[in-house]
Chains A and B, each alone.
Chain A
Amino acid sequence: DQQVKQNSPSLSVQEGRISILNCDYTNSMFDYFLWYKKYPAEGPTFLISISSIKDKNEDGRFTVFLNKSAKHLSLHIVPSQPGDSAVYFCAASSGQNFVFGPGTRLSVLP
């Protein structure tokens, strides 16, 4: 049973527009959430995170929103750039380990 779900395997967006990647979780004990970006033949790299005491965290073009009541978080990228094309993993933690979603492949079209 997947505790972290990313229901969209892929997403295509035009350059300059907003990309919205979604993530749902089932375990209410999760209190820290992260987004990772992965290019082919590389390891995942940390992008942005949010603690359960917040509902929004922003870092440049990247913003993560958390809706605890819905057990849902989203990553907004604006404006999207071709270099953002990658697989994005949502992850959640309730202690010291991290549970990952299956990933969403984002393609930003020039």
Chain B
Amino acid sequence: DAGVIQSPRHEVTEMGQEVTLRCKPISGHDYLFWYRQTMMRGLELLIYFNNNVPIDDSGMPEDRFSAKMPNASFSTLKIQPSEPRDSAVYFCASSLGQVSTEAFFGQGTRLTVV
């Protein structure tokens, strides 16, 4: 397996524009996580899914953020409208979801909102 695949690797957009980040988890993994990394807050969990169903979205900062998982092999994180303070690296991760297993991370999407 190629691991968790995220696209794009880099995104530069203007304030107010819609941004869509994409993730393909490892095949067979039941859990998918979206994290955001910033200097101030480190790695913070935004939302996670189990079998394509959102389980906990309490980390989603505002209504401008939304995430979907239409099937087991694809998830999106959308920001609309984007703001400069959304600039960060966004990571997607997946795991088998069994007790005592680790999460595998993608390479991240570096988002810059100008």
Contacts and interface: CB of A to CB of B under 8 A. Distances in A.
B74 interface: no
A103 B44 CA distance: 12
Contacts of B106: 43
Contact of A49 (B48, B93, B97, B100): B100
**Interface SS majority for chain B:** strand
Contacts of A46: 102-104
Contacts, number: 55
A49 B102 contact: yes
Contacts of B33: 97-98
Interface in A31-68: 32, 34, 36, 41-46, 49, 51
A55 to B, nearest CB: 15
B50 A96 contact: yes
A43 B43 contact: no
A103 B56 CA distance: 23
A102 B43 CA distance: 6
Greatest chain B CB density within 10 A among A41, A51, A97, A103 is at: A97
Interface of B: 4, 31, 33, 35, 41-45, 48, 50, 55-56, 91, 93, 95, 97, 99-100, 102-108
